[in-house]
A = this chain, B = another copy of it.
Amino acid sequence: MKARVTVTLKTGVLDPQGKAIEGALRSLGIEGVASVRQGKVFDIELEGTADRAKAEELLKQAADKLLANTVVENYSVQVLG
């Protein structure tokens, strides 16, 4: 079973990396970008779980414990089947 966990910064948390990318895009001549915020994505392959709900539970645990810093980051879990 495949799944994707997407981790993004919470609103209001500064993102200097995103700001740098904004500047770089502008200097490359790509106009029309108002803001950029960078996040992380984890493509996870699960084994031995046919149960979607169980898989989601497992991934939420993984995100809470390791993949995301829930003080400054949000995460979303998608089970792709």
Contact = CB atoms under 8 A, between A and B. Distances in A.
Contacts of A66: 21, 24-25, 28, 30
A33 B41 contact: no
Copies of this chain per assembly: 2
Interface residues of A, number: 32
A46 B22 CA distance: 11
Contacts of A65: 28, 30
A69 interface: no
A36 B77 CA distance: 14
B41 A40 contact: yes
Interface string A44-81: 11111100000000100110011100000000000000
B36 A42 contact: yes
B32 A42 contact: no
